[in-house]
Amino acid sequence: MPAAADIGLMILACGLATWLWRGLGVLLSGRLNPQSAMFEWVSCVAYALVAGLIARIIVAPSGLLAQTALMDRLLACAVAFIAYRLARRNMFVGLVCGVGFFMAAGYVRSVIV
């Protein structure tokens, strides 16, 4: 892990890199068509990157989550999503059910093993 000051510098740089997109949108607003192919590609890239991030955290996490079972993490995702849909797209119900399942599964494992 890098030193706190280095992380701080990176945070500032990343803040600027993130803001650039927001600022660019302000500067070009009213002059570009948000339905164009270029936009579609940009949003595909952003979507795929975030999907890759979440897939990596769930399948091959570092830190705390690395101590938990892959099957439990995958099932927790399924449980959260199903609960979210059953509760008419209620994020809270989804998260509570997913996290609840995950902790219950972890408990059962600790008792059995």
Partner 1 sequence: MIAQHRRAFATGAREALGVPAAVLGAGFLGYGSLAADAGYPVWLTLAATFAIWALPGQLVLMEMQAGGAAVVATLLAVSLSAARFFPMTLTLMPLMRRGSTTRGLWQFLLVAQLVSMTTWAVAIRRFEDRDLEDLEARWQYFIGFSMVCIGAAAVCAVIGQLLIGALPPLARFGLALLTPLYFFVTLVGEARSKASIMALVCGAAVALLLHAAAPGWSLLGAGFIGGTAAFLLQRSHARRG
Contacts of partner 1 in 12-41 (CB under 8 A):
12-15, 17-30, 32, 34, 37, 39-41
Taking the complex as a whole, how short is the minimal distance between the CB of residue 31 and partner 1, in angstroms? Answer: 9
Among 70, 71, 75, 110, binds partner 1 (CB under 8 A): 110
Among 50, 70, 71, 86, binds partner 1 (CB under 8 A): 50
Please list, in sequence order, all residues whose beta carbon lies within 8 angstroms of the beta carbon of residue 98, skipping any fewer than 6 positions away.
76, 77, 79, 80, 81, 83
d(CA 77, CA 63): 19
Taking the complex as a whole, how short is the minimal distance between the CB of residue 71 and partner 1, in angstroms? Answer: 13
Contact 94, 87 (CB under 8 A): yes
Instruction: Decide if residue 43 touches partner 1 (CB under 8 A).
Output: yes
Among 70, 71, 86, 107, binds partner 1 (CB under 8 A): 107
Among residue numbers 53 through 92, which ones bind partner 1 (CB under 8 A)? 53-65, 67-68, 73, 76-77, 80-81, 84-85, 89, 91-92
> Measured between alpha carbons, how far is residue 49 from residues 7, 22, 54, 56 in Å?
22, 18, 9, 11
